[in-house]
Amino acid sequence: RTPEPSAQDVSLSVDWLTRYGYLPPPHPAQAQLQSPEQLRDAIKIMQRFAGLKETGLMDEATLATMKKPRCSLPDVLGVAGLVRRRR
Amino acid sequence: YALTGSFWKKKQLFWRVRSFPQGSALSQDIVRNLMHYALTAWGTEVGMTFQEAEPRVGTEPEILIDFARAYHKDSYPFDGPGGTLAHAFFPGDHPISGDTHFDDEEVWTFGESDSGGTDLFAVAVHEFGHALGLAHSSAPNSIMRPFYQGPAGDPSKYRLPPDDREGIQQLYGKGPNSPHPEPTRKPLVPPPQPPGQPPDSPSAPVPDRCSGNFDAIANIRGEVFFFKGPWFWRLQPSGQLVSPRPAKLHRFWEGLPEHVVTVDAAYSRPSDGRILLFSGRQFWVFQDRQLEAGSPKLLTELGLPPGEVVDAVFSWPQNGKTYLIRGEQYWRFDEAVHSVDPGYPKNLNLWEGAPSAPDDVTIGNKGDTYFFKGTEYWRFAPGSVVAEPGSPHPMGPDWLDCPPSAPGPPAPR
């Protein structure tokens, strides 16, 4: 059984997934909770992008990949990309 | 590879290093040389030239290079050693377009193993890919993968991986076969041209996705593929097109014969994840992008009458059966016993409200069934065989990032 990630790992991972375009940015005027399905889908896309096994879970390999040195730009150019172009 | 949708409209660009790394073992000359070689790696493939601009002379260069720390007046603050290494701005008219920033708190190295720091040349090649219009790639060997992959080797001999070459050539076309322009620094080894590939040009005519009328549409592992002639577009699960410019059919589906220039229908077989492309009386089976041995196969092998072709194929999640549609009829194929169910073909009017001879039918990521025809689509809720009220809807704005008033021929009824 995969050990449960710590609350801090989950929080950092959501931040990472948002920063690199896998999750939509939070609305500035409201707190936003990600649904488990949305989070799992985002993790799966990230895992596919990174060449990892698509588990949809914040497993050890996924967390380790998130800690790798990388380029600052988002991987998924959705809303984040549009924001960047506007500026 | 993935394109950002923006590119430079000229073939000669200027660059300048505005600020150099502080306290680095790399001299300013080495940094400038590495930047030169990193840009040349891209330019060689597309016939672009990059000229270093003198400080404070004439207009600002397109690509301004900075080594900066923490917050540096853009929205991508650096985070000290490790973490984020660098970023660049895509081509455009804004003054910051093309600019490239490196985190000055990294230990930048050249010609050392990984343990000594981060190879500046490798990161520069990656960032200049962004500055020229490429987004991140998930291809295993691509320099445009978002994660640092270690030193890139001798800059004077470096050649881009195939995925990146194809990406940049989609934007700017292939470089001329003439000898490489005179080097401004150390001699470069001109890379050999890959044999047997037809020249591609960004100006080559491509079909208009907003006019609909696709040959085939398929949901393949969460991404929707729209086929039209020898081209296709990909829509990511996020709803974002991989690129507004279509990709070439034969560059992606490895092994598909050149004479197959139209895909009539396509679907992903749930039982084994294989992808089936139908054209005429045959179909080809792919595992990922590679053609499987034994292809092509005949539609008669699925139980269809000799000479029959298909308009649309999809697998319905509710019963796991595969539906093959032709005109106003359809056959139901059972993957488990590998034969058409008895009593077929039947009339397509089972799907209430669906158009006859649809361009294709596919299943959405939430289990909805979508019939596509012309410029419109019909949605069926999961498990339902009745089109939802309001169908059909215009495809362009909902699927393909097209304006609501996109001109196009009306869907044939």
Q: Does A49 touch chain B if contact means CB atoms closer than 8 Å?
A: yes
Q: For B73, name the nearest residue in chain A, comparing CA atoms only.
A: A87
Strand partners, B342: none
- Amino acid, res. B151: P
Check whether B410 has a pLDDT greater than 80: no
From A3's Cα to the closest Cα of chain B, the distance in A is 25
Top pLDDT among B236 and B177 is at B236
- State the average pLDDT over residues B14-32: 91
Rounded mean pLDDT, B68-72: 93
Give B101-155 pLDDT, tens digit per residue: 999 999 999 876 555 789 999 999 999 999 999 999 988 889 999 999 988 988 9
- What SS3 state is found at B142? coil
Strands (E), B75-183: 84-88, 100-103, 108-109, 118-119
Measured distance between the N- and C-terminal CA atoms of chain B, rounded to whole angstroms: 38
The answer to whether A70 contacts B236, with C-beta atoms less than 8 Å apart, is no
* pLDDT at residue B175 is higher than 60: yes
Burial class (CB in 10 A: 0-12, 13-18, 19+), A3: exposed
Q: Does the annotation count B127 as an active-site position?
A: yes
Handedness of CA A17, A22, A28, A29 (dihedral sign): negative
Establish if A78 touches chain B: CB-CB under 8 angstroms.
yes
Contacts of A51 in chain B (CB under 8 A): 138, 140
Span B378-404, pLDDT tens digits: 999 998 999 999 999 999 988 998 887
CB nearest B236 (choices: A20, A68, A76): A76
**Contacting residues of B for A73, CB less than 8 Å apart:** 76, 87-88, 130, 135-136, 146
What local confidence, expressed as pLDDT, does residue B184 receive? 41
Q: What is the mean pLDDT of residues B43-64?
A: 87
Q: Which residues of B touch A49 (CB under 8 A)?
A: 136, 138, 146
- Positive or negative, the CA dihedral B193, B194, B199, B204 is negative
Q: Can you give the C-alpha Rg of chain B in angstroms?
A: 25
User: Can you tell me the mean pLDDT for B191-220?
Assistant: 65
C-alpha separations of A4 from A7, A10, A61, A67, B307 in Å:
9, 10, 13, 18, 56
CA angle A13, A15, A18 (to 5 degrees): 105
User: pLDDT at residue B413 above 70?
Assistant: no
Distance in angstroms (rounded) separating the CA atoms of residues B112 and B116: 6
- Answer yes or no: do A84 and B237 touch at CB < 8 A: no
- Look up residue B117 and give its two tokens: 């720091």
In degrees rounded to 5, what are phi and psi of residue B166? -65, -40
Which residues on B lie below 8 Å from A61 (Cβ)?
Answer: none
Whether B147 and A84 lie within 8 Å, measured CB to CB = no
pLDDT-derived band at B181 (thresholds 50, 70, 90) equals very low
- Name which of B398, B363, B399, B361 is nearest B383 in CA terms: B363
pLDDT 10s digits, A37-73: 888 999 999 998 898 999 999 999 999 999 999 999 9
Q: Verify whether the Cβ–Cβ distance B238 to A71 is below 8 Å.
A: no
Residue B203 has pLDDT above 70, yes or no: no
What's the CA gap between B80 and B177, in Å, rounded?
43
Task: Note the pLDDT of residue A30.
Answer: 59
Span of B115-129, B176-190, B195-209, B223-237 with lowest mean pLDDT: B176-190
**Which of A20, A22, A71 comes nearest B127 by C-beta?**
A71
* A41/B237 touch (CB, cutoff 8 Å), yes or no: yes
Is the CB of A16 inside 8 Å of chain B's CB atoms? no
A82 and chain B in contact, CB less than 8 A: no
What is the per-residue pLDDT for A28? 62
Q: What is the mean pLDDT of residues A75-85?
A: 56
| Residue B252 pLDDT | 87
Note whether A70 contacts B90, CB cutoff 8 Å: no
Q: Smallest Cβ distance to B87: which of A73, A77, A85?
A: A73
Q: Please pick, among B127, B292, B301, B376, the residue that the annotation labels catalytic.
A: B127
